[in-house]
Structure 1
Amino acid sequence: MYRALTRNKFLEVINELARVGGMEASKGHSILIGATLEYLRKHAQILAPYMQAHPAQNEEFIHIVMPGVQRQ
């Protein structure tokens, strides 16, 4: 029978693996930050060539995600 993986169960498994590996337990925050940064790095690598090849769309994208940046 399948069940949703809860945060507590996930951390329980991760911390058990860390203990076996002689590592420090985690409260979960560092896992979230690390996964987010990895996700952003991969997307930046994929999007960079496209954005460089299409400067008008790149400028519009920057304007949307960083509204304080002025257009030139």
Structure 2
Amino acid sequence: MISVYDGSKDGDPGKAEYYRQSTAGTKRTLWNHSGPGTTVTSASGSKIIKFQACDENYGDPDDCSGWVAP
């Protein structure tokens, strides 16, 4: 599982982009549209092999952490 916490009050959602071992060629995205101070969590599944955390910026490139392995 992977979780996304939105700690910003900028009005933009947070997201995690990630790849699972069973579908290594498919990028998945977990969005947190619930607002500041909230956390959303993905369903269980195969092992996550890499991920990055991002802050959505409407109309501009997203601010992302860069890809890392857990």
TM-score bracket for the superposition, by shorter chain length: under 0.3
Scaled by the length of structure 1, the TM-score of the pair is 0.22
Scaled by the length of structure 2, the TM-score of the pair is 0.22
Greater per-residue strand proportion: 2
Using CA pairs under 8 Å that are at least 6 residues apart, name the structure with larger relative contact order, 1 or 2.
2
Q: Which has the larger radius of gyration?
A: 1
